[in-house]
Structure 1
Amino acid sequence: MSTPSSWPLPPESTRFVLPRKMVSQLAEHPLSAQLYPLGIGYYQLARGHAMRREQHDDFLLIYCLEGSGRVAFGPKQKRRIIRAGDVLVLPRGTPHHYWTDQKDPWSIYWIHFDGSHCQDFIDQLDLEPSSPLLSLGIHSRLVADFEALLDTRQARHHLAAYLHSANQLRQLMTHIALLRPLARRQQEDTLDLEKIHSLMQARLHEQLDVETLANTVSLSKYHFIKKYKALTGTTPINHFIQLKIERACHLLDVTNKGIKEIAWAVGYEDAYYFSRMFRKIMGISPSQYRAIRLGRSSYTG
């Protein structure tokens, strides 16, 4: 692991470095070799905390809960401000220097990690090329993910517990990737996705065109579609169809209504067309989907 910080640890903070023997086992085990923790910690109001590494031989993630700090990174030592709600991601080989603000000291979770697929998990976070920071905001569930990892310090030398922590790290990394587009949406002040999606939910039983949706947020159809796709990765109509099919699945699960009735309930007068759209989204027909619920078919059959 990269050299740990020598910052003196006060009673309310935690630092846990995994035993070398356990790290070796995690690096070789098929359930953890792709991604596993090396060290985990929580520093509360860490006045005076700073770290400089010219050689960085693992991966580091820092989640700032309060206060602020600075980071200088890369060969040119570019600088960025770290604020509450920011995640700092420093891949292997990135020289860096980070430090807390003296007047407004940060509270941070941090984790050093390694594994054969670390870079794949980093790539999934979709970092901006010019910055190692993600502005996610404060999320209680993400805090819970870090706390669960910190519980590893109670594991002592039980491999099963450390394998569990390696997979909790997977959960944490994929959770951050899930929160990433949500944070982008919250930062986008010209497109109220919540308003758009609420309208879609209210109109599931009928048809809804792009122009109506665009008018809701006072945009032209062209700019609306462009902004919506940039934020969600899909078109508004495709998302509306997805919502309709999700509703249809729910009705197939909890009611005994016929296919025609369900088609009508989600805005399709033509049951045959509804079945085509259902198969396009789900890969099976509405009847096959219901057969799974009734135990007459398997998930993969």
Structure 2
Amino acid sequence: MIRASGRKSKGDAEVRKREGFDSEKILVLPESRIRELSSHPLLRPLFATDIGYFPHAKYHYRERPDGCDAYILMLCVGGAGWIQVGEEKRKEVGKYDVVVLPPGAKHRYGASEDNPWSIYWVHFRGESARDFVDLLPLESHTLQVSGRDAVRLIEWFQPCYELLSRQGYSLAHCLFANQQLQQLLSFLAMQRTPGGDDSSKETVERSIQYMMLHLGSNLSLRQLSEQANLSRSHYSAVFKRVTGASPLHYFTRLKMQQACTYLDLSAWSAKEIGAKLGYGDSLYFSRVFRKEIGMSPTEYRRKMKG
């Protein structure tokens, strides 16, 4: 449970709260249950150990000189607060900011005295926890989401808490709750990257739409950058920052995805499909398909699906 010490450290202006907060929610799984979860093949990749909600958490403060044994994720849905990790500069946290603190790192955090935050929070561990966090577009341990996206995150937090608090710690309920946690982290991974801006994201989205309309063409980097009204180098950098892939590689992926759809839903030959996607050489089309999909068009078509 997160409870703050009543002792003040030198230089701290915060008053630290000993008791809980009105209408708070808090659940901490027993250590014995955590050991069971960490050994189960379906749960050991990622599982929550603590989860809760602190509304209007005036005087909330937490300090861990030796860090925590789990990742800590907080979503601020109102008010303000701050975090400090190690000897890094203290960072302010506001409405719709998401905070992720790494395990084992000295840290402290607290609510604003004048405008205390309301936060949803979860501690999580697992073999894949770091892999999930590495996907998040964090900048100084935080990222910001829109109000609409914050609502979606809350819709994932609440079932996790309700399942674990009201339905006990059964394997099925823990599994479902942790699937909600995976969805939450995956959704956060799709947020825009640090250093990006909304205009960059919109530029890339328009470029992808342009690609989709020209899957039968062989678009060049020059054509794509001109359509985006950017230099080739700037366009390539923006596109890769937002998508993680180069423009031409992304375009090839779209073509191969469409090739899979044609193979699934039409009787066209691989040669005909390649031609529809701008590949005059059927052998070259097959090589590209195998590289992206991992098998030949013929093998893909024979594979049972659905």
Paired residue type of 1:78: K
Residue among 222, 226, 232 paired with 2:237 = 226
Distance 1:48 1:271 in 2: 68
Residue 197 of structure 1 deviates from its aligned partner by 0.8
Tell me the secondary structure at the aligned position of residue 73 of structure 2.
Answer: strand
**CA displacement 1:120-165 (0-9 Å, x = unmatched):** 443443645xx22233444244333222311211222424322443
Distance 1:101 1:77 in 2: 19
Tell me the secondary structure at the aligned position of residue 209 of structure 2.
Answer: helix
Distance 1:266 1:29 in 2: 45
- Any unmatched runs of 5+ in structure 1? 296-301
* 1:135 pairs with 2:144: yes
Instruction: Please tell me whether the aligned partners of residues 51 and 123 of structure 2 are also in contact (alpha carbons under 8 angstroms).
Output: yes
Match in the other structure for 2:52: 41
Distance 2:175 2:114 in 1: 40
Count of aligned residue pairs for this structure pair: 288
Tell me the secondary structure at the aligned position of residue 112 of structure 1.
Answer: strand
Residue among 281, 284, 293 paired with 1:282 = 293
Instruction: Please tell me whether the aligned partners of residues 138 and 194 of structure 2 are also in contact (alpha carbons under 8 angstroms).
Output: no
Match in the other structure for 1:299: none
Distance 2:253 2:169 in 1: 47
Instruction: Please tell me whether the aligned partners of residues 87 and 133 of structure 1 are also in contact (alpha carbons under 8 angstroms).
Output: yes
Distance 2:220 2:135 in 1: 33
Match in the other structure for 2:13: none
Compared with structure 1, are the counterparts of its residues 255 and 67 closer, same or farther at alpha carbon in structure 2 (3 Å cutoff)?
Answer: farther
Residue among 230, 255, 259 paired with 1:248 = 259
Match in the other structure for 1:68: 80
Residue 293 of structure 1 deviates from its aligned partner by 4.6
Distance 1:252 1:91 in 2: 45
Match in the other structure for 1:58: 69
Match in the other structure for 1:27: 38
Distance 1:125 1:270 in 2: 40
Tell me the secondary structure at the aligned position of residue 124 of structure 2.
Answer: strand
Identity between Structure 1 and Structure 2 (%):
33
Distance 1:188 1:145 in 2: 25
Distance 2:118 2:67 in 1: 22
Distance 2:183 2:198 in 1: 26
Match in the other structure for 1:258: 269
Instruction: Please tell me whether the aligned partners of residues 225 and 235 of structure 2 are also in contact (alpha carbons under 8 angstroms).
Output: yes
Match in the other structure for 2:11: none
Tell me the secondary structure at the aligned position of residue 303 of structure 2.
Answer: helix
* 1:89 pairs with 2:112: no
Match in the other structure for 1:298: none
Tell me the secondary structure at the aligned position of residue 205 of structure 1.
Answer: coil
Per the normalisation by structure 1, the TM-score is 0.82
Paired residue type of 2:282: A
Compared with structure 1, are the counterparts of its residues 7 and 207 closer, same or farther at alpha carbon in structure 2 (3 Å cutoff)?
Answer: farther
Compared with structure 1, are the counterparts of its residues 183 and 50 closer, same or farther at alpha carbon in structure 2 (3 Å cutoff)?
Answer: same
Tell me the secondary structure at the aligned position of residue 168 of structure 2.
Answer: coil
Compared with structure 1, are the counterparts of its residues 195 and 40 closer, same or farther at alpha carbon in structure 2 (3 Å cutoff)?
Answer: same
Instruction: Please tell me whether the aligned partners of residues 185 and 231 of structure 1 are also in contact (alpha carbons under 8 angstroms).
Output: no
Per the normalisation by structure 2, the TM-score is 0.81
Compared with structure 1, are the counterparts of its residues 206 and 121 closer, same or farther at alpha carbon in structure 2 (3 Å cutoff)?
Answer: closer
Match in the other structure for 2:26: 15
Match in the other structure for 2:170: 158
